């Protein structure tokens, strides 16, 4: 198999609300399909995410407000998890707070040499916003990076 592109599909309960939520993060509504619309896509650069109204996968969240750490249960989460790589996780965090987006894990330097934060879509999908950070020379992660 030679993969040319992967497009995740999120099950959403409200297409317009999802377009607006992604808009707060700088994503643009790319298209919608159906009368009334039941499928659509958002774009950021050459990346795209499909949004399917009430179908194609699960959605929802567990009983824990956090998505990482001792106050969380990753196995209880029901929505899709995606890792999104950015240049500045702290800038994204500030934008999320400004726009009222639920942050479930604040920007934290993780032992795997990533500064990471988590946000949750209104339908429970979790986005791991990650930024590579420098590690000390000679460490295993520095050698393989």
Per-residue pLDDT at 119: 97
Each domain of the chain, given as residue ranges in start order, spans 1-57, 60-136
Whether a cis peptide bond, with omega within 30° of 0, leads into 36 is: yes
Render pLDDT for 107-129 as a digit per residue (tens, 0 to 9).
999 999 999 999 999 999 999 99
Decide if pLDDT at 138 tops 80. Answer: no
Architecture of domain 1-57: 2-Layer Sandwich (3.30)
pLDDT higher than threshold 60 for residue 41: yes
Q: For residue 89, is pLDDT > 90?
A: yes
pTM: 0.86
Considering the four listed CATH numbers 3.40.50.620, 2.40.110.20, 3.40.50.300, 3.10.180.10, the one that applies to the domain covering 60-136 is 3.10.180.10
Nearest to 7 by CA among 58, 38, 50, 45: 50
DSSP 91-112: HHHHHHHHTTPEEEEEEEEETT
Cα angle for residues 85, 17, 129 (degrees, 5° grid): 15
């Amino acid at each position: 198999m030679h993969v040319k592109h992967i497009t995740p599909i999120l099950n959403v309960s409200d297409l317009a609300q999802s377009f607006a939520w992604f808009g707060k993060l700088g994503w643009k509504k790319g298209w919608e399909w159906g009368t009334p619309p039941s499928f659509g896509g958002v774009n950021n650069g050459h990346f795209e995410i499909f949004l399917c109204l009430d179908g194609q996968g699960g959605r929802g969240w567990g009983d824990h407000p956090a998505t990482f750490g001792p106050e969380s249960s990753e196995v209880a989460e029901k929505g899709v998890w995606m890792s999104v790589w950015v240049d500045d996780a702290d800038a994204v965090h500030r934008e999320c707070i400004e726009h009222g987006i639920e942050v479930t894990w604040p920007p934290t330097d993780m032992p795997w040499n990533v500064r990471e934060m988590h946000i949750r879509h209104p339908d429970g999908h979790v986005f791991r916003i990650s930024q590579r950070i420098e590690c000390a020379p000679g460490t295993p992660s520095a050698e393989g990076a």
